[in-house]
Amino acid sequence: MKTFILAVALFVCNTRTALAAADIDFATQVFPIFEKSCLSCHGPEKQKGGLRLDSKAAAFKGGDDGIVLVAGDAAKSDLYRRITLAAGSDDVMPNKGAVLTKAQTDFIRDWINQGASWPATALANVPQEKPAREPAVPMADFKPGAAELKAAASLQAMGIDLWPVAAGLHWHEANLRSQGDRPVDAALAKLKDAASVVSLDLAGTKFSGASLANLKSLTNLARLHLEHTQVHDADLADLGGLVRLTYLNLYDTPITDAGLEHLKGLTNLRNLHVWQTQVTEAGAAALRKSLPDCDIDRGWVSTAAENKTPETKK
């Protein structure tokens, strides 16, 4: 019996060692976690605490509180400490939405312990944002009418505030992420009267395709986040009239090449994110012919994945 127990113990130890030694691939196992859960606060648009996690140089530079990554030692890496804090902790990352799963934090821990390799080729297809041809906010200020003031009051009652983009201006940004798992169809119905909205964040929200038609009236909209939603190709037809749009994020959605056809008239579009969608390089190339000044971010795509046929991708 002792021999049997010893054998089992050795097997378990060896198995754990083998698993711990498994190489972590940054491009497919770590950066997608950063992209989904970290970059909204630590990316090109926003750098909370002075920290960016969208490039190797920025990540290893750290933020206002110092270094967050110590290659080879997760225990000394503040990034790992923060992502393993309990939900609700002051320093937990991410501090909005669901905390990372144990499997996700283990990936990051093992990646750091293995040297935190961040290959330059892993994100070779992720471009830097280009400046928009026109300013994101129209030059002239905007005075909201009675319909907009009523809509703003209704949205506030739902827990949604319209925040001014700068002091002294009436242009606003709206963030519906606070609605969590609740559908935002009712909010979008009210938002259609808020013509002063120039930035709208619907990332991770739930809505019907018909509700997206409410965005047609937001003709001053310059930035739109639709990542992690179930927006479909046909829904993008409702964006065709948003001629001031400079930024559109469709990361992790069911969009295909067919959906891009609806974007060809958005001549001010400068940044389009379609990583982890069904958009192919051929589809992106076709859109670039219509929008030569637009950076189309397909993220890191392996050659094997690119060579799959539509049938094998399903």
Report all structural domains of the chain as residue ranges with CATH numbers, in order of start.
21-122 (no CATH), 146-313 (3.80.10.10)
Query: pTM of the predicted model, to two decimals?
Result: 0.58
Q: How far apart are CA 51 and CA 42, in angstroms?
A: 6
Q: Please name the residues in contact with 130: beta carbons below 8 A apart, sequence gap of 6 or more.
A: 270, 271, 293, 295
Predicted confidence at residue 2, as pLDDT, reads 52
Mean pLDDT, the chain, as a whole number?
Answer: 81
Of residues 278 and 35, the one with the higher pLDDT is 278
Q: Which helix (H) or strand (E) holds 296?
A: strand 295-297
- If pLDDT is split at 50, 70 and 90, which confidence band does 60 have? confident
Residue 120 has pLDDT above 50, yes or no: yes
Q: Look up residue 150 and give its amino acid.
A: K
Most confident of 36-45, 61-70, 105-114, 118-127: 105-114
| Per-residue pLDDT reduced to its tens digit, 212-233 | 999 999 999 999 999 999 999 9
Do 105 and 133 contact (CB within 8 A), yes or no? no
